[in-house]
Amino acid sequence: MFSPSPMLLKLLYTRGSLHNLPDHGGVAFSLKNRLDTVHLTGISSVRVDGRTLGPEQITLDLGDGNVRPATELGEGGGLSFPVGQSITIRLHTDPLPEGMHPVHLQFRAEPFGELNVEVEDAIVHQENARVRIPRQDQDDYSEAAIQARQRFAEQFSGQQFEHIGKYSFDPHMLQGNCEHFTGVAQIPIGLAGPLRVNGEHAQGDFLIPMATTEGTLVASYNRGMQVLNLCGGVKCTVIGDAMQRAPVFVFDDARGARDFAKWIEQEIGPIRTEAECTSRVAKLQYIDTYLANKFAYLRFNYSTGDAAGQNMVGRATFAACSWILENYKGAPIRHFYLESNFATDKKASQINVMRTRGKRVVAEAVIKRDILQQRMRVTPEQLAYHGQVSNVGAFLSGANNNGAHSANGITAMFIATGQDVANVSESSAAVIYSEVTAEKDLYISITIPSLIVATHGGGTGLATQNECLRMLGCVGRGTVHKFAEIVAGVVLAGELSLASAISSSDWVSSHEQYGRNR
């Protein structure tokens, strides 16, 4: 449990929520718990525009028709306020004019005691003619709510939809995964392999589910897997594991930022304690500090178990930064932001290539000369030389990798297994290397420095996605490194296949044969 600083307490308030209630029913605003689960034991007062309102003039709307007077808060140990929940505070007062208004909320929450939130928010003109997507507060995943949205979509677009509304799972399992659920996008799944993986965590033959609408993709990966299997399989190794959140602290000058960075290095022990108290899984490994101008960027690096962990590390870093804001006694911190764009979430970046984000995995194999010539119609020398030429092209273009198409296999597996597909932006970064061995065979390897995968949480528990993970044997505790090794092996198969097709001039003819859809 951490102590929220005044700077972080402001984040409880939902900006833009201040509004007048209809029919002169008062004024309302919203709070959302973005810190830690607490018990509200009392609201002392709310002050708006200098006017102070006591508990007898305040009502709490908890949603689902649950409305309680603030005077009842102290009864029965208070009101549970878990992380992620929102509460609407209703004030029995005259309407506010349009414009900015200072709002001060004083309340009690266990285990913290008396807390204060001070913000400014605006009353703005509400447009009554806004078109709204239908939803139900009580159960937005009910059949009635879903059918209302389906009818709305047809009426709004003037089209009829036959396939979107057909699915085979209970929509209630989508809570936390998809809002305004209306139907499904059916993406074809093709099977490639089996692929023989010689990893430390993945060992054996694996049938690979690939969700795609791109013709030739599954066939190409399947061809690469066959060649790898004929040469004994693909050797895969996880060499790094870290997930980041990167807050920034703003000072008056560079000297203040520098001294702060030194203090952070000295206080890593209590910072780690505060971060890890928010999760049984997240473990703070280290903090990288980068200074520029008057800014101190801290890149917190965690291990996150079988989860990808972006939300987990956000919460842990939030707790750590709250402790930092409370305990740093040096130059004043003028501003703080939980994310500075330096973790580069869902963006390709050089720092992820160098420092790892997610899993850092290497897949490698030795392809026998005769097999390469018989199956791919190229020699090791042709592929190695082609790789050198491609390196120049990748360098000139500023690409995030020097391979052929790592994003293809990663995306197809991500969709099939319920990964966050936007993470392909950083997961597709790759460093490929090949050479002709002393025996005149081809050694080929690929390093994926920021492969963000999970076998727990997110979309991995959904119906078809979980079935695909079960096909790979990647469900249950301790399976994320196994899954990472399989993905890396699949990527190498695709690199080998496409590079060979381009070198042997089979690329266009293969697309004509398998990918033609016109």
| pLDDT single digits (tens) 98-111 | 899 999 999 888 87
Region 41-66 average pLDDT: 87
Q: Does the pLDDT of residue 76 top 50, yes or no?
A: yes
Q: Which residues contact 506 (CB under 8 A, 6 or more apart)?
A: 377, 500
Question: How many whole angstroms separate alpha carbon 67 and alpha carbon 395?
Answer: 61
Region 24-52 average pLDDT: 85
Active-site hit among 420, 426, 485, 506:
420
Question: How many whole angstroms separate alpha carbon 121 and alpha carbon 289?
Answer: 34
- In the chain, the percentage of residues whose pLDDT exceeds 90 is 68
Beta strands in 313-441 (DSSP E): 335-337, 358-367, 431-436
Q: Does the pLDDT of residue 510 top 60, yes or no?
A: no
Question: Which residue type is seen at 14?
Answer: T
Q: Which residues contact 257 (CB under 8 A, 6 or more apart)?
A: 249, 251, 291, 293, 294, 295, 296
Q: Does the pLDDT of residue 516 top 70, yes or no?
A: no
State yes or no: is 370 an active-site residue.
no
Q: Is the peptide bond before 270 cis (omega within 30 degrees of 0)?
A: no
Q: Does the pLDDT of residue 517 top 70, yes or no?
A: no
What is the SS3 assignment for 242? strand
pLDDT at 40: 84
Q: How confident is the model at residue 50 (pLDDT cuts 50, 70, 90)?
A: confident
DSSP result, 51-80? EEE-GGGEEEE-STT-EEEGGGTTGGG-EE
Write out the two tokens for 392.
Answer: 């120049």
Beta strands in 78-221 (DSSP E): 79-81, 86-91, 99-110, 113-123, 189-199, 203-211
* 469-504 residue pLDDT tens: 999 999 989 999 999 999 999 999 999 999 999 987
User: 181 vs 47, 80, 153, CA distance in Å?
Assistant: 39, 28, 12
Write out the two tokens for 39.
Answer: 């018990």
State yes or no: is 439 an active-site residue.
no
pLDDT at 508: 45
**Where is pLDDT greater, at 11 or 204?**
204
pLDDT at 321: 92
Q: Does the pLDDT of residue 263 top 50, yes or no?
A: yes
pLDDT at 47: 92
Q: How confident is the model at residue 507 (pLDDT cuts 50, 70, 90)?
A: very low
State yes or no: is 420 an active-site residue.
yes
Q: How confident is the model at residue 129 (pLDDT cuts 50, 70, 90)?
A: low
Region 60-65 average pLDDT: 81
Q: Does the pLDDT of residue 60 top 60, yes or no?
A: yes
* 376-395 residue pLDDT tens: 999 999 999 999 999 999 99
What does pTM read for this prediction?
Answer: 0.84
Contact criterion met (CB below 8 Å) for 387 and 404: no
Active-site hit among 214, 259, 267, 467:
214
Q: How confident is the model at residue 214 (pLDDT cuts 50, 70, 90)?
A: very high
Q: Is the peptide bond before 194 cis (omega within 30 degrees of 0)?
A: yes
* 288-321 residue pLDDT tens: 999 999 999 999 999 999 999 888 999 899 889 9
Q: How confident is the model at residue 275 (pLDDT cuts 50, 70, 90)?
A: very high
Active-site hit among 61, 259, 467, 511:
511
Of 278, 334, 474, 493, nearest to 405 (Cα)?
493
Q: Which residues contact 281 (CB under 8 A, 6 or more apart)?
A: 304, 305, 307, 309, 312
Q: Does the pLDDT of residue 456 top 70, yes or no?
A: yes
